[in-house]
């Protein structure tokens, strides 16, 4: 046929009517190739990853601040993390315990008398200040799986050990009246010889200096124990942030002479403890 050419010999005619057909065939082949390729891809569902804590820690070290209605303590512990649910630790802390009758007050008479120095507040009837050095062993257990998934671990802590009571004599500034209607002020601790003056509110000018009595400290051994509900915030984080709420007791072999009268051999306290530290 005139006006016609052939695409390769004996194949598709190359005239204008057939050119459009040829283009359609090529476009169809090109469009089909990606679909054919995709048909060979096997789509697999994404595996569901089990809940993991992330980095596995073996050790925890933290500082503690324990607040009580009748005391305060600062401490440090080192814990071995056995499993997520259980760890054991050794700890030490230095604290302060108060008698339930300790009430801080000021002397109004001192303001009238005047003097070279302003009177310090004092605690009436106090004989010694009681500081505590505690050391022992404890166990922490987690129980709440649901809370664990929210990053808040709920469990319990129980611990116990030795208490060393440190007694520092408490000093008062006492007013001593002289024969010529004058007076003098002296700094004294309690003794049998000055009992009447020491317990006379009108003879107390104020409290003695904090440093008085450190060279006369005494010791009394004892034991302690405590149990608490533990709330660990960010249980899987590198940094430790936790809070305890519980009950503790310090027991001594005899009455501890904190006050002149009405002393006891044990100190029972509710407490809140803040943990701040790091895991590794």
Please write the tens of the pLDDT for every residue from 209-264.
999 999 999 999 999 999 999 998 876 678 899 999 999 999 999 999 999 999 99
Can you read off the two tokens belonging to residue 273? 């403890």
Percentage of residues in the chain with pLDDT exceeding 90? 59
Triad 125, 164, 199: Cα angle to 5°:
10
- Look at residue 6 in the predicted model and tell me its pLDDT: 38
DSSP code string of 87-115 = EEEEEEEEEEE--TT--EE--HHHHHH--
Q: What is the pLDDT of residue 21?
A: 54
Q: Are residues 137 and 250 in the same domain?
A: yes
Question: Do 185 and 115 contact (CB within 8 A), yes or no?
Answer: yes
- For residues 170 and 100, state if they share a domain: yes
Specify if 49 maps to a domain.
no
Is 51 within the bounds of a domain?
A: no
pLDDT at 57: 83
pLDDT over 70 (residue 266): yes
Predicted pLDDT at 237 = 77
The average confidence (pLDDT) of the chain is: 82
pLDDT at 5 > cutoff 50: no
- H/E segment holding residue 80: strand 71-83
| pLDDT band, residue 25 (cuts 50/70/90) | low
pLDDT of residue 43: 46
Q: Are residues 171 and 269 in the same domain?
A: yes
| C-alpha–C-alpha distance, residues 140 and 13, integer Å | 88
CB atoms inside a 10 Å sphere around CB 164: 14
Question: Does residue 36 sit in the same domain as residue 129?
Answer: no
Residue 7 backbone phi and psi in degrees, to 5: -90, 110
The first and second tokens of residue 121, run together, are 């507040």
What are the tens digits of pLDDT across the range 68-78? Answer: 999 999 999 99
Whether residues 85 and 22 fall in one domain: no
Looking at the structure, tell me whether residues 22 and 84 fall in a common domain: no
Domain that holds residue 269: 59-279
On whether both 20 and 131 belong to a single domain, the answer is no
Whether residue 9 is found in the same domain as residue 88: no
Whether 143 is in a domain gets the answer: yes
pLDDT for position 136 = 98
Count of domains for the chain: 2
Tell me the pLDDT band of 85, cut-offs 50, 70 and 90: confident
The verdict on 12 and 70 lying in the same domain is: no
**Same-domain check for residues 113 and 232:** yes
Q: Is residue 71 part of a domain?
A: yes
| Pair 126, 177 in one domain | yes
Distance CA 99, CA 209 (A): 20
CATH code of the domain in which 205 resides? 2.40.160
Rounded Cα distance, 29 and 1, in Å: 29
Same domain, 180 and 258: yes
pLDDT confidence bin for 111, thresholds 50/70/90: low
19 pLDDT more than 60: no
Give the whole-angstrom CA distance, residue 93 versus residue 263.
24
């Amino acid at each position: 046929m005139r006006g016609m050419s052939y695409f390769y010999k004996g194949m598709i005619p190359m005239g204008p009517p057939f050119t459009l057909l040829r283009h359609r065939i090529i476009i169809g082949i090109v469009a089909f190739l990606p679909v054919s390729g995709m048909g060979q891809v096997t789509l697999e569902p994404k595996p569901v990853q089990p809940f993991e804590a992330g980095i596995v820690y073996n050790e925890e070290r933290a500082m503690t601040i324990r607040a009580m209605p009748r005391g305060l303590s600062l401490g440090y512990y080192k814990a071995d993390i056995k499993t997520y649910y259980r760890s054991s630790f050794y700890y030490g802390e230095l604290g302060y315990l108060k008698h339930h009758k300790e009430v801080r007050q000021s002397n109004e008479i001192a303001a009238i008398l005047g003097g070279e120095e302003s009177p310090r507040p004092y605690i009436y009837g106090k004989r010694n200040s009681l500081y505590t050095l505690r050391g022992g062993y404890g166990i922490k257990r987690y129980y709440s799986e649901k809370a664990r998934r929210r990053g808040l671990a709920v469990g319990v802590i129980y611990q116990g050990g030795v208490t060393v009571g440190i007694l520092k004599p408490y000093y008062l500034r006492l007013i001593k009246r002289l024969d010529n209607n004058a007076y003098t002020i002296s700094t004294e601790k309690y003794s049998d010889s000055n009992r009447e003056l020491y317990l006379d509110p009108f003879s107390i000018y104020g409290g003695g200096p904090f440093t008085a009595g450190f060279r006369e400290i005494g010791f009394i051994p004892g034991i302690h124990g405590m149990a608490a509900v533990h709330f660990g915030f960010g249980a899987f984080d590198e940094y430790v942030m936790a809070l305890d709420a519980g009950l503790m007791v310090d027991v001594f072999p005899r009455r501890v002479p904190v006050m002149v009268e009405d002393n006891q051999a044990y100190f029972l306290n509710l407490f809140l403890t803040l943990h701040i530290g790091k895991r590794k």
